[in-house]
Structure 1
């Protein structure tokens, strides 16, 4: 009887351990862009919440309604018989979120804002600084995405390790079941579920968050008015922008959980040195992504 641990090491019944081979899995461009994205997205998230706090509501359409209500999310404080409380309304359903959303901070000195101080950059209400930080790292994200795309087209990483092929789609249900059973592959190339996740993030969510961000810019609206039409209005674009941000945060959380489950040392080594400890007997498929 033998078992495979998270680091790709096989332990046999007699206690003898066999390590899998170190394979070069992550190219230098992939590693540099990975860490650049991580830093950029951190500042984009917190500065974006600072901008959102200037008007903590999301709408669908070209404008926020005055004589009609087209909001799908709203965070606001209200006076109640028990004093002020923070409420978050989602699709007409109202929730008391005092202490987290709409009203946060110490009871003796509450802050009436959408997201709490610890979740924004800067921590105090400063829309101008939040916009400067947000726009700077937005261009860092765009520039890094362009570098990654060009490099991935040149070295074949995009077609080999990101774009889903028919065999990946066929293997996706089996790979999902394996992950649900905490059985993870440790090979040279990405599994179908990994490829699907990276494809959605790199080829769908990243372009979508960039385009919706541009749609909210009056300057870009004047230069490219078709962007507003594509997304059904600036308010709809803002809502999609927020939802995509939430999906990227969800991906990050799942990504970190998977790193812990498959072996944090092995995963970190891969994203720092490029070398990954594969399971013994892993297929020698070529991959530098």
Structure 2
């Protein structure tokens, strides 16, 4: 540090209130969906393709679980239903905000310069080596993060909602096209399981990157909406 210069703690805005609230509501509801979904799956850990599937029929995926817990799907279905609607309503609020405030356009859509091979390779290399982002880089998402969030928000979560509705007889009796396009209720259940696996993978990588980039500072930013950094001033 040069003589006469001082270090100052700078507080900068990072996440707005809507993003923070919807982030934590989604986190809690997704946790409820995972726990209840696993309880439902334990009652019959086999996946099929088509309209029907039961014990004694051929399955396309037979999960290697060491045990089966029957009678656990009752509370699991209630919690799953409650968590799903919390997640859906939260997602709608986030989507409306993202469209009306240009959040998706400004923060998630990659810029033309981000799509160059040099930029893509550098970002991928940094992620593979768990290199910490600088304070300036933390102020915005890199291209890999943008693509991932776009995939989660506009592909994986909508597909989870679609397949979830397609497994409901009450919904499909009114809108049979939801299940017909997927090939049947068992097909919807299988797709639901696969997409859930991708979301769990996203969650694991997301938490790992948060830890690598500074767990306390990242979580604090998502709670308070601000980041702090030390800058040298003359």
Shared fold (TM-score greater than 0.5)?
Answer: yes
Deviation at 1:213, TM superposition (A): 0.1
How far apart are the structure 2 equivalents of 1:20 and 1:167? 31
Which stretches in structure 1 are left out of the alignment for 5+ residues? 1-11, 76-87, 89-100, 104-111, 114-123, 282-289
Note if 1:181 corresponds to 2:129.
yes
Deviation at 1:174, TM superposition (A): 2.4
How far apart are the structure 1 equivalents of 2:48 and 2:230? 49
The Cα offsets for residues 225-268 of structure 1, whole Å up to 9 and x where unpaired, read as 11112212211110111111111111111111111110011101
Note if 1:74 corresponds to 2:38.
no
Which stretches in structure 2 are left out of the alignment for 5+ residues? none
Decide which of 196, 220, 231 is 2:182's aligned counterpart.
Answer: 231
How far apart are the structure 1 equivalents of 2:190 and 2:229? 41
Structure 1 residues 126 and 180: alpha-carbon distance in aligned structure 2, compared to 1, 3 A threshold = closer
Note if 1:247 corresponds to 2:193.
no
Indicate the SS of the match to 1:231.
coil
How far apart are the structure 1 equivalents of 2:147 and 2:222? 19
Decide which of 6, 11, 14 is 1:25's aligned counterpart.
Answer: 14
Aligned to 1:191: 142
Aligned to 2:32: 43
Whether contact under 8 Å (2:51, 2:186) holds in the other structure is yes
Deviation at 1:44, TM superposition (A): 0.6
| Larger proportion of strand | 1
Decide which of 208, 213, 219 is 1:268's aligned counterpart.
Answer: 219
How far apart are the structure 1 equivalents of 2:124 and 2:45? 37
How far apart are the structure 2 equivalents of 1:156 and 1:274? 18
The Cα offsets for residues 97-147 of structure 1, whole Å up to 9 and x where unpaired, read as xxxx232xxxxxxxx44xxxxxxxxxx843221111110110000000000
TM-score of the aligned structures, taking structure 1 as reference length: 0.70
Deviation at 1:67, TM superposition (A): 8.1
Deviation at 1:47, TM superposition (A): 0.5
* RMSD value, Cα: 2.5
How far apart are the structure 2 equivalents of 1:144 and 1:164? 24
Structure 1 residues 173 and 67: alpha-carbon distance in aligned structure 2, compared to 1, 3 A threshold = same
Aligned to 1:3: none
Note if 1:64 corresponds to 2:53.
yes
How far apart are the structure 1 equivalents of 2:126 and 2:194? 29
| Larger proportion of helix | 2
Structure 1 residues 232 and 156: alpha-carbon distance in aligned structure 2, compared to 1, 3 A threshold = same
Structure 1 residues 67 and 269: alpha-carbon distance in aligned structure 2, compared to 1, 3 A threshold = closer
How far apart are the structure 1 equivalents of 2:52 and 2:200? 27
TM-score of the aligned structures, taking structure 2 as reference length: 0.86
Deviation at 1:68, TM superposition (A): 6.0
Q: Which has the larger radius of gyration?
A: 1
How far apart are the structure 1 equivalents of 2:8 and 2:192? 44
Structure 1 residues 17 and 246: alpha-carbon distance in aligned structure 2, compared to 1, 3 A threshold = farther
How far apart are the structure 2 equivalents of 1:179 and 1:57? 35
Decide which of 91, 110, 122 is 1:145's aligned counterpart.
Answer: 91
How far apart are the structure 2 equivalents of 1:65 and 1:166? 50
Whether contact under 8 Å (1:50, 1:125) holds in the other structure is no
Deviation at 1:279, TM superposition (A): 8.5
